Amino acid sequence: MSDASNYYGPVVNMNGGRENVGINYGTVGGAQDVEVRAAVNELKGLLGELRPHLTREQDRTVEEALPELTPDREALRSRGLVLASVAQIASAVGAVGQPVAEAVGRLLALLG
């Protein structure tokens, strides 16, 4: 049996539990940098457009990277491998991945 599901955003499966309050995207507890938030949102949108062009393994890597892409400057600085993986995938798929590679570059420039 194969799973042909495609997910283009957060997927939450909750089986039981108590006092579940939802998903924390790393924005609780303070105002976030507007430029970083815009760059992260742009990157996530471009990744959604890129996913149909990826191999199964590349898509899995992007799926795992999406929750790590939060509009938190400090958190993103510590997640350099995630951004490097996304940039590598974007480069590997050629011209169709160029907008993603450029978006990663802009985000990295904002992070300093």
pLDDT tens digits along 7-57: 566 666 666 666 666 665 555 444 458 889 999 999 999 999 999 999 999
Q: For residues 57 and 64, what is the distance between their CA atoms, to the nearest angstrom? A: 11
Please provide the size of the chain in residues.
Answer: 112
| Residue 19: predicted pLDDT | 65
Q: For residues 110 and 40, what is the distance between their CA atoms, to the nearest angstrom? A: 11
- State pLDDT tens for residues 58-70: 999 999 999 999 9
CB atoms within 10 A of CB 54: 20
pTM: 0.69
| Residue 31: predicted pLDDT | 43
Instruction: Write down the domain spans for the chain.
Output: 31-111
Closest CA to 97 of 68, 61, 67: 61
The residue type found at 18 is R
Q: For residues 86 and 61, what is the distance between their CA atoms, to the nearest angstrom? A: 8
